[in-house]
């Protein structure tokens, strides 16, 4: 229930909360419905690398105070193989801009605090079941309130920012939008360690035992990734085996020991991508992971979510405050251009970082396909030696 003229935002992730802040500041009647608790939303660790354009969007709308105060700029990545390593100082290449490292849960906590401070309405513990009547002017959200009782909320528009498994996607009738889907055939065990970073760069290890990644989150928390067997559970490796495997793949004996600490979060991520087209079904519009899922290989998901959220909120404001429907009509097209570019780069990263052929947790790759392996090493060599290749990488790596 907004006054029926405004916007219901489904989901309090980066997409939903950026949209809701911008709408609320413009005086648009808006309410956020979030299925989880406030505490869960504020503490869910996921992304951490914000693109310069993301920071500019947050700044434009007065949402960047925490990022500016506590975020750290970062502009180096290091590629490792079984025999060698090289560093790319991408901050000085391509668009000549760095990332800002700022944990996604801190960004979400900032966005939430500011929204509530400014009188924004949000209801936690409300799980949307379906969006009804989106093909007409009075869409409704059918939901369960925290006590499990059914409730209905209505508005002029629904912003579907409730992620890949949310109600927004499910509510679009089969055939009304196209879903382009790609399974990259690779799985990562995502780990969060209460340990200081082990290198002063984002680390990407390309190894016969599989990919390993290192990404700083803060002075005492580091995210690691280990390529794992499809279908393996998050606890398939003991903590000791995890550190052992990370050390082997990252070449700790040659390039420096890893700084260990307790593993506080484990999740298996299947590297998949999909794009819905268009990002609109009548009065239901999609943003963030609900619009497009992207493999985490190039750290684009949260950045796309913020970019789409700004475009969507501004399009709603144009329509609801100024009577101009054109930005809403162009919304899908404008987002899709950026989404496909990010998908292309993320897919390129997947192919750069992983071998082909059978893979299992015990042996790594069976190295059946030597041709593809050689191509991968040639690609890395080109990145190490060619300035124009490095510029292309930097431009795509920090851009969306």
Instruction: Pick the binder of ligand RFL from 24, 46, 74, 350 (CB under 6 A).
Output: 46
- In whole angstroms, the minimum distance from the beta carbon of 344 to ligand RFL comes to 16
Q: Site residues for ligand RFL, window 19-38 (CB under 6 A)?
A: 33-36
**CA–CA gap between residue 128 and residue 133 (Å, rounded):** 14
Q: Report the DSSP pairing between strands 127-132 and 221-228.
A: unpaired
41 binds ligand RFL (CB under 6 A): yes
Nearest Cα to Cα of residue 245 among 275, 288, 205, 282: 205
**Sole window of 5-13, 204-212, 251-259, 385-393 interacting with ligand RFL (rule: CB under 6 A):** 5-13
57 binds ligand RFL (CB under 6 A): no
Instruction: Pick the binder of ligand RFL from 171, 303, 346, 356 (CB under 6 A).
Output: 303
**CA–CA gap between residue 25 and residue 77 (Å, rounded):** 38
Asked about 224 being catalytic, the answer comes back as no
Asked about 300 being catalytic, the answer comes back as yes
**CA–CA gap between residue 172 and residue 165 (Å, rounded):** 13
Asked about 354 being catalytic, the answer comes back as no
Tokens 């508005």 locate to: 155
Buried b (16+ CB within 10 A) or exposed e, 289-320: bbbbbbbbbbbbbbbbbbbbbbbbbbbbbbbb
Q: Which helix (H) or strand (E) holds 348?
A: helix 326-353
- List the 263-277 sheet strands across, edge first: 85-88, 77-80, 202-205, 212-218, 221-228, 178-193, 263-277, 292-293
Please tell me which residue in 102, 157, 204, 225 is annotated as part of the active site: 204
**Sole window of 198-206, 240-248, 302-310, 358-366 interacting with ligand RFL (rule: CB under 6 A):** 302-310
Instruction: Pick the binder of ligand RFL from 7, 9, 30, 47 (CB under 6 A).
Output: 47
98 binds ligand RFL (CB under 6 A): no
* CB of 34 or CB of 245, closer to ligand RFL: 34
Count of positions on this chain that bind ligand RFL (CB under 6 A): 36
Asked about 165 being catalytic, the answer comes back as no
Q: What is the DSSP letter of 173?
A: P
Asked about 49 being catalytic, the answer comes back as no
Pattern of binders to ligand RFL over 263-282, x per CB under 6 A?
----x-x-------------
- CA-angle at 384, arms to 188 and 397, nearest 5°: 55
**CA–CA gap between residue 328 and residue 316 (Å, rounded):** 7
**CA–CA gap between residue 104 and residue 120 (Å, rounded):** 21
- In whole angstroms, the minimum distance from the beta carbon of 10 to ligand RFL comes to 5
Residue 195 contacts residue 220 (beta carbons within 8 Å)? yes
Instruction: Pick the binder of ligand RFL from 7, 9, 15, 158 (CB under 6 A).
Output: 15
Q: Report the DSSP pairing between strands 284-286 and 157-160.
A: parallel
128 binds ligand RFL (CB under 6 A): yes
Instruction: Pick the binder of ligand RFL from 71, 160, 288, 399 (CB under 6 A).
Output: 288
* CB of 248 or CB of 299, closer to ligand RFL: 299
Q: What is the DSSP letter of 392?
A: H
* CB of 22 or CB of 128, closer to ligand RFL: 128
Q: Site residues for ligand RFL, window 176-235 (CB under 6 A)?
A: 190
Nearest Cα to Cα of residue 16 among 332, 367, 287, 228: 287
**Sole window of 57-65, 144-152, 156-164, 195-203 interacting with ligand RFL (rule: CB under 6 A):** 156-164
**Sole window of 11-19, 95-103, 174-182, 385-393 interacting with ligand RFL (rule: CB under 6 A):** 11-19
99 binds ligand RFL (CB under 6 A): no
The length of the chain is 400
Q: Which residues bind ligand RFL (CB under 6 A)?
A: 10-16, 33-36, 41, 46-49, 104, 127-128, 161-163, 166-167, 190, 267, 269, 288-289, 296, 299-303, 305
Q: Which residues are catalytic?
A: 74, 204, 296, 300, 397
């Amino acid at each position: 229930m907004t006054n029926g003229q405004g916007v219901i935002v489904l989901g309090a992730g980066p997409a939903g909360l950026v949209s809701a802040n911008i709408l609320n500041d413009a005086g648009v009647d808006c309410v956020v419905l979030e299925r989880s608790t406030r505490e869960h939303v504020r503490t869910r660790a996921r992304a951490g690398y914000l693109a310069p354009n993301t920071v500019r969007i947050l700044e434009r709308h007065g949402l960047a105070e925490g990022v500016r105060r506590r975020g750290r700029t970062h502009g180096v990545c290091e590629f490792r193989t079984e025999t060698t390593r090289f560093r790319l100082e991408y901050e000085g290449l391509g668009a000549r801009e760095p990332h800002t490292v700022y944990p996604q849960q801190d960004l979400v906590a900032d966005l939430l605090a500011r929204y509530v401070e400014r009188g924004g309405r949000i209801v936690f513990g409300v799980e949307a079941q379906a969006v009804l009547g989106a093909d007409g002017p009075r869409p409704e959200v059918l939901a369960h309130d925290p006590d499990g009782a059914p409730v209905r909320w209505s508005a002029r528009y629904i912003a579907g920012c409730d992620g890949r498994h949310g109600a927004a996607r499910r509510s679009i009738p089969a055939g009304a939008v196209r879903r382009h889907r790609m399974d990259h055939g690779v799985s990562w065990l995502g780990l969060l360690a209460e340990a200081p970073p082990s290198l002063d760069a984002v680390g990407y290890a390309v190894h016969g035992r599989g990919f390993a990644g290192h990404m700083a989150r803060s002075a005492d928390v580091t995210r690691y990734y280990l390529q794992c067997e499809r279908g393996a559970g998050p606890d398939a490796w003991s903590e000791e085996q995890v550190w052992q495997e990370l050390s082997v793949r990252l070449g700790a004996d040659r390039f420096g020991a890893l700084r260990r600490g307790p593993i506080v979060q484990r999740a298996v991520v299947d590297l998949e991508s999909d794009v819905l087209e268009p990002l609109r079904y009548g009065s239901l519009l999609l943003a963030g992971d609900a619009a497009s899922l992207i493999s985490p290989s190039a750290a684009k998901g949260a950045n796309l979510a913020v970019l789409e959220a700004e475009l969507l909120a501004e399009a709603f404001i144009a329509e609801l405050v100024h009577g101009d429907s054109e930005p809403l009509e162009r919304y899908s097209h404008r987002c899709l251009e950026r989404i496909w570019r990010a998908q292309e780069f993320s897919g390129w990263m997947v192919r750069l970082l992983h071998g082909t052929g059978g893979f299992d947790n015990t042996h790594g790759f069976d190295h059946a396909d030597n041709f593809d392996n050689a191509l991968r090493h040639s690609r890395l060599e080109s990145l190490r030696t060619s300035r124009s290749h490095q510029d292309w990488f930097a431009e795509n790596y920090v851009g969306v």
